[in-house]
Amino acid sequence: MCDVRVLLVEDDEDLRFGVAAALRAAGLAVDEAADLPRADEALFVTAYDCAVFDRMLPSGDAAAYVEELRRGGRDVPVLFLTARDTVADRVEGFASGGDDYLVKPFAVPELVARVRSLCRRAAAVRPPVHHVADLEVDTARRHVRRAGVLLSLTTREFAVLEVLAARGDQAVSRAELIESCWDEMAEPQSNVLEVLVSQLRRKLGAPPLIHTVRGVGYRLAADDAR
């Protein structure tokens, strides 16, 4: 499970160090955060297989934060760590979008087992990895590689590429790309999509994989035979 990545959010430095060490010893990659702002930043740039949150942090109640994540469509599995052990507390944790709940003090091997279980559950429903020639689009981890080299894409660039990759070599209309990747405030008649596709083509490099289909939109394919 060396490719599995976990976010650990815990303000107690000693506890965070110990739990992170145990998770790494189990073969998991671990990113650490001491508060919700840093956790939010990490979740924005990385797709995690599981997130472990201390329930009560100096920056706020993690349950309220996870509830906001769920409302925003984020489905990363979440395990809460907490000293709050009443039935009502556990029910509240699950109701806010938590997937598991472990009361402090806990046995570290049990925590590792629960995290591994959540990661396996996430892997079972993980979106596919799309391949076009030497391009790899990992829709779960939001990683894009060309000839094995990891590319740095903006959120919007990845969104457009993801839609194109999901359609195989079929053309995707300009209107569909705008609707899927921009909000209702975007102006469909502007050249915002054309500019982004130009930037994306430059980042993907040669030979070109994004082809213009006249009168329709764009397609992602190893050739431009159409």
Smallest CA-to-CA distance from 7 within 27, 36, 34, 32 is with 32
Write out pLDDT tens, residues 48-63. 889 999 988 888 889 9
Q: What is the pLDDT of residue 2?
A: 45
Query: Which residue ranges form the domains of the chain, and what is each CATH number?
Result: 5-124 (3.40.50.2300), 129-220 (1.10.10.10)
Q: What is the pLDDT of residue 110?
A: 93
Q: What is the pLDDT of residue 126?
A: 58
Low-confidence ranges of the chain (pLDDT < 50): 1-2
Q: What is the pLDDT of residue 17?
A: 93
- Indicate whether this model's pTM tops 0.75: no
Q: What is the pLDDT of residue 1?
A: 41
Work out the percent of the chain whose per-residue pLDDT is above 90: 38
Pairwise CA distance, residues 185 & 193, whole Å:
14
> What residue ranges in 112-190 does DSSP mark as E strands?
129-132, 135-138, 143-146, 149-150, 172-173
Structure token pair of residue 1:
């499970």
Q: What is the pLDDT of residue 13?
A: 93
Smallest CA-to-CA distance from 55 within 38, 36, 41, 73 is with 36
Smallest CA-to-CA distance from 78 within 124, 43, 125 is with 43
